[in-house]
Amino acid sequence: MEDLQVVRDIIDNAEPQSVVFFGGAGVSTESGIPDFRSAKGVFNQRYPYPPEVIVSHSFFEEHPDVFYDFYKEKMVHEDAQPNQAHKKLAELEERGILRSIITQNVDGLHQAAGSKRVHELHGSIHRNYCKQCGMRYGLDAVMAADGVPYCECGGIIRPDVVLYEEPLDQRVMQAAIEDIAKAKTLIIAGTSRVVYPAAGLTDFFTGDNLIVINRDPSPLDRTADHCLAMNVGEVFNW
């Protein structure tokens, strides 16, 4: 594929700090983490609610037990390892080319691969806190609990993950916007949902190369300078 080599050359030869990567669920699927939203239908027997309902603020408040059943089974994948995309991006940051990663994923795999500057729009499963006293907990405390994890103080521990109905962290958003505004190359990968915030964020891009990597076609393709219908890990395998 002609465009593939072009894209790799653009990234490899980019000026220092000029590339920003925006990634969605497709970045993690090659690490064996399916998009939890795809759990629709198939799991209806076990979970009599759609994923978007279970992973919402009001549902968590009302049914933390069902939430954690779903969360631990469908959203936390403790054995998942960084794939080729995570590794290459960490290398590009190390080389000074990549300014930052903006991710919609909550799995922490970019940090596991060694990336330092990661804007986690939807938070992280690795950070958890007590709703009552604010005490911080790691993922292990959540997973070790039988069902709903409780703090020493008796409060419920919740993940520092943005649930449906909850606003995004404005500091994270602002940092992501600033990086996109400074980028000369923006890579949008593994997301076909051109909804808020992805759509809004990309409005701040004024650089030269908009690269879209996604297995399925998306409306983003039309605005892209380079469009690769491939798995993200394949593109970053050089």
Catalytic residues: 122
Q: How far apart are the first and last CA of the chain?
A: 14
Which is nearer to Zn ion, 135 or 181 (by Cβ)?
Answer: 135
Nearer to Zn ion, 153 or 199 (CB): 153
Query: For residues 71 and 21, what is the distance between their CA atoms, to the nearest angstrom?
Result: 27
Q: Classify 204 as helix, strand or coil.
A: coil
76 binds Zn ion (CB under 5 A): no
Single out the residue of 14, 19, 25, 151 in contact with Zn ion (rule: CB under 5 A).
151
Minimum distance between the CB of residue 165 and Zn ion, rounded to whole angstroms?
23
**Of positions 130, 162, 176, 220, contacts Zn ion by CB under 5 A:** 130
Q: Which of 153, 165, 203, 206 binds Zn ion (CB under 5 A)?
A: 153
Does 66 contact Zn ion by CB under 5 A? Answer: no
Using CB atoms within 10 Å of the CB of residue 44, give its burial: 0 to 12 exposed, 13 to 18 middle, 19+ buried.
Answer: exposed
233 burial level (CB within 10 Å; 0-12, 13-18, 19+): buried
Q: What's the closest the beta carbon of residue 133 comes to Zn ion, in angstroms?
A: 3
Tokens coding 134: 């604010």
How far apart are the C-alpha atoms of 203 and 127, rounded to whole Å? 30
x/- mask, Zn ion, residues 93-112, rule CB under 5 A, reads: --------------------
Q: What's the min distance (Å) between Cβ of 130 and Zn ion?
A: 3
Among candidates 123, 66, 89, which has minimal Cα distance to 19? 89
Q: Does 133 bind Zn ion (CB under 5 A)?
A: yes
Q: How far is the CB of 123 from Zn ion (least distance, A)?
A: 19
- What minimum distance in Å lies between the beta carbon of 156 and Zn ion? 9
Residue partners of 205: CB distance under 8 A and separation at least 6 = 180, 181, 183, 186
Out of 38, 58, 81, 132, the only residue in the binding site for Zn ion (CB under 5 A) is 132
State the alpha helices, DSSP H only, in 119-169: 139-144
Give the C-alpha separation, 193 to 171, whole Å: 23
How many residues touch Zn ion (CB under 5 A)?
A: 7
- List interacting residues with Zn ion (CB under 5 A): 130, 132-133, 135, 151, 153, 155
